[in-house]
Amino acid sequence: MRVLLVAVLVVGCSASVEESYPAPIAHEFQPVNGPQVTVTANGGSERIVDGMFTTGRKPGTFCEVKELVAGCAIESCTRLESADADGTVVDPGAVTISSPSLGKSVPLVPNTTGYARVVQPGDFGLGEVVHVSATGSASLPAFELDVRVPGIAAPKSFGNCGVAASQTAPGICHLTDAPVAKWSGGDKVVLVTVAPIGLRSSYEKLVCAFDGSLGAGRIPDEALARLNPADPYGVGITSEQGSAQSGQTTAIAYRILYGGRLDTVVLSK
C-alpha cells in the first residue's frame, strides 16, 4: 500500500488498465548557478523582473537533477539561507529591460548584494518577448538576452479528481483512475511537477515534461515510486518556462496561474 497526499494544482498515481495516454517527452532539466534574470507574470496582476547578479549558489531553494526515471527528472532540492549561500557578487554594469508591456529601456539596478527588482501592475502578453541588456564589467561580460513569457496551461483534472469547489478549503478526492494530468492551453511543452508540501530544508521532487498540444500526460508509475510515500505532495501543471543564456548569465520567464486548484487528492496503490 502506498499513500500520497496531493494538494494544489495536480497529479498522482494509480494503475491504468487498457487505456493509453501520452508519455513524457525528452527534455533538458538544467539548474542555474550563475547570474540570473527572472521574469514573472504574476497571476495576471503584476509584471515582475528580478535580477540576482552573483555566482555560485544563491539564497533560496536550489534544485539539481539527481536521476532520470522513465523520461522524468528526480530533482534534489536544498533550501539555502543567506548564511549558507556561497555566491559572489558580480557587476553587470548598466542593466535595462524592454518589452511591449514593460516599456523601453527600463533600468534594473542591483543593490550591494547583487539583487535588483522591477514591479509593474498588469500582465505580460502570451508569448511576449522581454529583452535584457547589460553593459558588463571586469567581473561579468556584457550580454543581450531575449526571453519569451510562456502561455497559460490551466489544470483541468487528475484522474477522477477535478477542480475544487472552494479555493480556500478544497475537498478530498480518493483517486481511482490512472495518474493522468489534463490541462487546457499551454505551450509546446507542459511541465507536471510533484513536490512535497510544507517548508523543509531539503526534499526531492518529480518533474515530467509532456507535449502541451495533447492536453494530457500520464505520470509513469516507476517515476512516482521514487518519491516518499509518507509525504503529502502538491502537483503543478505549467507551461515550460522560457529561457535564454549568454555567457554566464541566464534569463528565465515564468507564468504563475492562480485558481484552478484541484481537490486534495489521496493516492493509493
Q: What residue segments make up the domains of the chain, in order of their start?
A: 3-268
Chain mean position to CA 38: 12
Nearest CA to 34 out of 63, 65, 64, 58 is that of 58
Give residue 12's pLDDT.
41
Section 172-186 average pLDDT: 80
| Listed residue (101, 100, 97, 93) closest to 133, CA to CA | 97
Decide if pLDDT at 184 tops 70. yes
Q: 5 pLDDT exceeds 70?
A: no
Report which of residues 209 and 235 the model is more confident about: 209
- How far is the CA of 127 from the CAs of 1, 100, 147, 150, 242, in angstroms? 43, 11, 9, 5, 9
Which of 32, 148, 36 shows the shortest CA–CA distance to 92?
A: 36
The pLDDT assigned to 158 comes to 75
- Tens-digit pLDDT profile for residues 9-64: 444 444 444 468 999 999 887 666 789 999 999 888 999 999 999 887 666 677 88
Of 22-26, 72-76, 173-177, the one with minimum mean pLDDT is 173-177
Stretch 231-255: mean pLDDT: 85
In the Cβ-directed half-sphere of 243, how many Cα atoms lie within 13 Å?
Answer: 13
What whole-number distance in Å separates Cα of residue 189 and Cα of residue 152?
Answer: 11
User: What is the 3-class SS of 85-123, one letter each residue?
Assistant: CCCEECCCCCEEEEECCCEEEEECCCCCCCEEEEEEECC
Q: Which three cell numbers stand for residue 16?
A: 491504468
> Is the model's pLDDT at 1 over the cut of 50?
no
Distance from the first to the final alpha carbon of the chain: 5
pLDDT band at residue 241 under the 50/70/90 scheme: confident
Confidence category of residue 207, pLDDT binned at 50, 70, 90: very high
Q: Is the pLDDT of residue 196 over 50?
A: yes
Q: Please say if the pLDDT value at position 214 is more than 60.
A: yes
Burial string for 249-265 (b: 16+ CB within 10 Å, else e) reads bbbbbbbebeebbbbbb
φ, ψ of residue 213 in degrees (nearest 5)? -70, -15
User: Average pLDDT of 69-91?
Assistant: 81
CA angle centred on 8, ends 4 and 239, rounded to 5°: 110
- Band the pLDDT of 86: cuts 50, 70, 90: low
Q: Select from 87, 84, 78, 118 the least CA-distant residue to 101.
A: 118
- Would you state the pLDDT for residue 216? 94
Reduced to 3 states, what is the DSSP secondary structure of residue 137? coil
Using only the alpha carbons of the chain, give its radius of gyration: 19
**Mean pLDDT of all residues in 202-231:** 89
Of 22, 26, 20, 52, residue with least CA distance to 39: 52
What pLDDT digit, counting tens, does each position of 148-163 carry? Answer: 999 888 888 877 777 7
pTM to 2 decimals? Answer: 0.76
Q: Is 6 a residue whose pLDDT tops 50?
A: no
- Which of 24-33, 164-173, 248-257 has the lowest average pLDDT? 164-173
What is the secondary structure of 165-224 as a DSSP string? S-SSS--EEE--S-SEEEEEE--SEEEEEEEE-S--SEEEEEEEEEEGGGSEEEPPHHHH
pLDDT tens-digit profile of 52-70? Answer: 998 876 666 778 889 999 9
Which tops the pLDDT comparison, 187 or 141? Answer: 141
Strands 189-196 and 202-211: antiparallel
